[in-house]
Amino acid sequence: MRGIQGDRTQFALAGALCAIGVLALTSATATLDPILTLRQVIWIVVGVGASLVVASSSYTRWTDLSVVWYLGVLLLLVIVELAGTVKLGATRWIMIFGLSLQPSELAKLATVCGLARYLAAQPPSLSTRSLVISAGLAGVPALLVFLQPDLGSSSIIAAIWFGMVLVAGLSRRQVVGLAVGSLAVLPLAWHGLKEYQRLRLLVFLNPHVDPLGAGYTIIQSQIAIGSGQIFGRGWLSGTQNQLNFLPERHADFLYSVIGEEWGFVGAVTVVVLFGWLLWRACRIALGNLEPQGRLVAMGVVSWLGYQAVVNMGMAMGLLPVVGVPLPLISYGGSSLLLTLTGIGILLNIAQQARDYVA
């Protein structure tokens, strides 16, 4: 398709990460539920189809409809609060025609497109008023997601906003002001957390404070990654994985399975592929002369980059456990579909930029 011509390498990198995810998921679900791998493959096929369709149509269609889409996502997030499905102690899903949908994933892309449309219409140097309005646009869905409770996804929306306003024309003084303001609200944010969220942040500093409770997952994840050493224990041969010591190994901690079974080499390969993918996406964003295209691309970069770093960081015990999947790799239909859609938009932006320059 025409959009794929914009950056075939990027599409290939996304495909490679999906393939790694399927192989790791096959091992992770061998003693859990092998049907999950089949479902993931189906979602990949659907996601690739969506990516190709999006890549072949102008990204401005998304930004033109961003107001309707943004309001629709807010409605879905409210419905989640009122009648969502509870899983693992959180209300983050709704059932539509028998399928489980996670509106917080839709909120990420809707926020990107909504912010891009607003910020592109502002002067190159953002005024304080524009900054506050843009913060409100991102803050409403972030707050609704936070109340589910989902600290991880709400922080991703915050990262999307910061990345986009930075590119839109954030001054050095505004950056300092945001940093000071963030530090000032930390005490209030701490009191707004659920008890288990506070405990997760505390055990991040020392997991052995609660080794059989909140610290258990971090400890098992570190054992899994550490035991992989250089080349790993071998596919389907990880003891933490196959003996069911590692919780949520098919979802938020699939990177731990990769580290255990494929070792340092496999773990670094994933980091390199993500780095390559994001580097090419940054080139699309920063090299784009059209404001909306540049902002949408940077929004997707901020989203995928932040989420990947947080997931791999928490698997290694370098960041607190906040429950976010590894893009393109972890199990999850909503996450996979929306991530591949975001990749499709990047491909179209790359092609549009080439046509613009030509």
Using one digit for the tens of pLDDT, what is the confidence trace for 98-144? 677 888 999 999 999 999 999 999 988 889 999 999 999 999 999 99
pLDDT at 68: 93
pLDDT at 61: 87
CA distances to 102, 106, 152, 298, 351 from 59, rounded to whole Å, are 23, 16, 27, 13, 10
Name the residue with higher pLDDT: 321 or 111.
111
> Residue 88 pLDDT > 70, yes or no?
no
What tokens does 136 get?
């409100």
pLDDT at 193: 75
Using one digit for the tens of pLDDT, what is the confidence trace for 25-69? 999 999 888 999 999 999 999 999 999 999 988 888 888 889 999
pLDDT at 137: 96
- Which residues have C-beta within 8 Å of that of residue 271, sequence separation ≥ 6? 312
When pLDDT is cut at 50, 70 and 90, the band that residue 330 belongs to is very high
- Which residues have C-beta within 8 Å of that of residue 288, sequence separation ≥ 6? 294, 297, 349, 353
pLDDT at 89: 60
When pLDDT is cut at 50, 70 and 90, the band that residue 80 belongs to is confident
Using one digit for the tens of pLDDT, what is the confidence trace for 193-238? 777 777 777 777 778 777 777 788 899 999 999 999 999 999 999 9
Q: What's the average model confidence in pLDDT over 238-263? A: 93
When pLDDT is cut at 50, 70 and 90, the band that residue 338 belongs to is very high
> Residue 3 pLDDT > 50, yes or no?
no
Which of 163, 157, 151 lies closest to 190 in space, CA to CA?
A: 151
pLDDT at 161: 96
Name the residue with higher pLDDT: 302 or 287.
302
Instruction: For the chain, give the mean pLDDT.
Output: 88
pTM score of the predicted model: 0.91
Q: What's the average model confidence in pLDDT over 16-20? A: 97
pLDDT at 175: 86
Name the residue with higher pLDDT: 312 or 147.
312
- Which residues have C-beta within 8 Å of that of residue 15, sequence separation ≥ 6? 48
Name the residue with higher pLDDT: 194 or 268.
268
When pLDDT is cut at 50, 70 and 90, the band that residue 182 belongs to is confident
pLDDT at 310: 96
Q: Is-contact 293 352, C-beta < 8 A?
A: yes
pLDDT at 300: 96
pLDDT at 358: 39
Between CA 291 and CA 60 the distance in angstroms is 11
Indicate the residue type of 48: V
